[in-house]
Amino acid sequence: MKIVILDGYALNPGDLSWDGIKKLGDCSIHDRTDPAQIVERIADAEIVLTNKTTIDRQTLSNLPNLKYIGVLATGHNVVDTALAKEKGIVVSNVRNYTGRSAAQMVFALILELTHRIGHHSQTVIQNRWAESQDFCYWDYPLIELDGKTIGIIGFGGIGKNVATIATAFGMKVMVSTRTTPQPAPEGIDFCELDTLFEKSDIISLHCPLTKATEGLINADRLRQMKNNAFLINIARGKLVVEQDLTDALNNDQISGAGLDVLITEPADPNCPLLKAKNCFITPHFAWATHASRSRLLKTAISNVESYIQGNPQNVVN
């Protein structure tokens, strides 16, 4: 049985082991695959694993031997799942592997916005502290999280972990989600979006990208936010209208943003947010701690094993 991994580098740049997948068949592992190379590399493969390399309708039409696609992520929009189903190709994904790491990243961004640690550290390196007349200084307001309200949009695994950490900081938690869990967790105020936008000091996005949520953060919604509020997005870039957020930041309509995702990735040099005020952007690595990637790889191998045994798991189509 031939197994091909199209873009394994992001998951495993060398600090994990592929041995578990190699035991399951004749395995070819590629760090990256250009679109023009896809069909050639997987033409005779029964099993293909992909992270961000797209397997679209045209590609699927040229792969008569393909029986299984394992997505090395939770989002599976890189695969034409409808056509795969028509062709009898099983598609699975990996769920719930990054909840703790991603929630940790949310607070890394929040703490950067509230303390500007990077900036203040750099000023010390530049000898500003050594030359200071006082024993301390700060260039930006230092903000305590205790008593502040965080609004969480989407309440899956990551959103729940964010709520838990926020509670530990003494924050008030508001949540807007499609379906309120029953029984509802204590200490969380489930509310409509309008209320969440108006009352939150920090808004953190954890909803899936759908037709209903694309462009959720737009000029109208940003006008509903407090002018001292922060926006956090580690979910999907298309949840945000980038020019609208840029304008809101540059016009002091909101106080800051922390983003781990953009509409175009890698970042388009012309993305307006790259020059926006008080905007911290990281390169889509909220998911990428060693622990998180280890869980992802373990589940991906388990998915392939289950398929081979005739009992596929985590099927999305």
187 torsion bin: left (phi>0), alpha (psi -120 to 50), beta (else)? left
How are strands ordered across the β-sheet holding 172-176?
188-190, 172-176, 149-153, 202-205, 230-233, 256-259, 279-281
The pLDDT tens digits of the residues spanning 196-220 come to 999 999 999 999 999 999 999 999 9
Stated pTM of the model? 0.94
Q: Looking at the structure, tell me whether residues 90 and 132 fall in a common domain.
A: no
Statement to judge: residues 133 and 204 lie in one domain? yes
147: left (phi over 0), alpha (psi -120 to 50) or beta: left
Range of the domain at 231: 99-281
Cα gap 259→232, rounded to integer Å = 6
On whether both 208 and 262 belong to a single domain, the answer is yes
Tell me, yes or no, whether 314 lies in a domain: no
Checking if the pLDDT of 6 tops 90, the result is: yes
Going by pLDDT thresholds of 50, 70 and 90, the confidence category of residue 175 is: very high
Q: Is 107 within a domain?
A: yes
Could you say which of 32, 86, 128, 265 is catalytic? 265
Catalytic residue among 116, 221, 284, 293: 284
Q: What is the 3-state secondary structure (H, E, C) of 195-252?
A: HHHHHCCEEEECCCCCCCCCCCECHHHHHHCCCCCEEEECCCHHHECHHHHHHHHHCC
In a domain, 227, yes or no: yes
Does the annotation mark 223 as catalytic?
Answer: no
Query: Do 225 and 131 belong to one domain?
Result: yes
Q: Do 168 and 148 share a structural domain?
A: yes
- Whole-angstrom distance, CA of residue 111 vs CA of residue 106: 9
Q: Which long-range contacts (CB under 8 A, 24 or more apart) does 174-180 make?
A: 174/149, 174/150, 174/199, 174/200, 175/151, 176/151, 176/152, 177/153, 177/207
Range 148-174 average pLDDT: 97
Would you say residue 270 lies in a domain?
A: yes
* Residue 115 appears among annotated catalytic residues: no
Q: Given this model, what pLDDT does residue 179 score?
A: 87
The total number of structural domains that make up the chain: 2
Describe the chain by its helix, strand, coil percentages, rounded to 5: 35, 15, 50
**Residue 148 shares a structural domain with residue 138:** yes
Residue 143 lies in a domain: yes
103 and 232: one domain?
yes
110 and 135 together in one domain: yes
Same domain? For 8 and 59 the reply is yes
At 1, the amino acid letter reads M
| Confidence category of residue 182, pLDDT binned at 50, 70, 90 | confident
Residue 16 sits in a domain whose CATH number is 3.40.50.720
Q: Which of 116, 206, 221, 236 is catalytic?
A: 236
Does 140 map to a domain?
yes
Nearest 10 degrees: CA dihedral of 271, 208, 301, 7?
A: -20
pLDDT band, very low/low/confident/very high, at 144 (cuts 50, 70, 90): very high
Q: Are residues 117 and 265 in the same domain?
A: yes
* Chain segment 98-141, per-residue pLDDT in tens: 999 999 999 999 999 999 999 999 999 999 999 999 999 999 99
